[in-house]
Structure 1
């Protein structure tokens, strides 16, 4: 699986804005924002954590799903 890259975050008051290649991907507020910042302070990889939170990561099954009989003809 390719490594996540291109994510950045900015703290705006009580919100955390996560961008991907300069475009806003998500905004975390309240407890989610606090948990995100705490995880970063604990040494979590920002790229992987951001990818997980935004849902922007590859799962490795794209080709398998495309070839499934119910998805043929789409």
Structure 2
């Protein structure tokens, strides 16, 4: 899935998961919308639903979506 650099294949759909930067900084807690295996084998889709964000706004530049 685009935007995911790594995922544990044992994650189950509906599980509470933690999101980290590549540097290991905690970003958020989320609920998995697909299993880890599905995310690894899927080319696209929504992997999780964010429950709580811990990282302060402005820590990194905003991601700009293509129009």
Normalising to structure 2: TM-score of the pair?
Answer: 0.35
Max Rg structure? 1
Highest relative contact order (Cα 8 Å, sep 6+), 1 or 2?
2
Normalising to structure 1: TM-score of the pair?
Answer: 0.33
Q: Which has the higher helix share?
A: 1
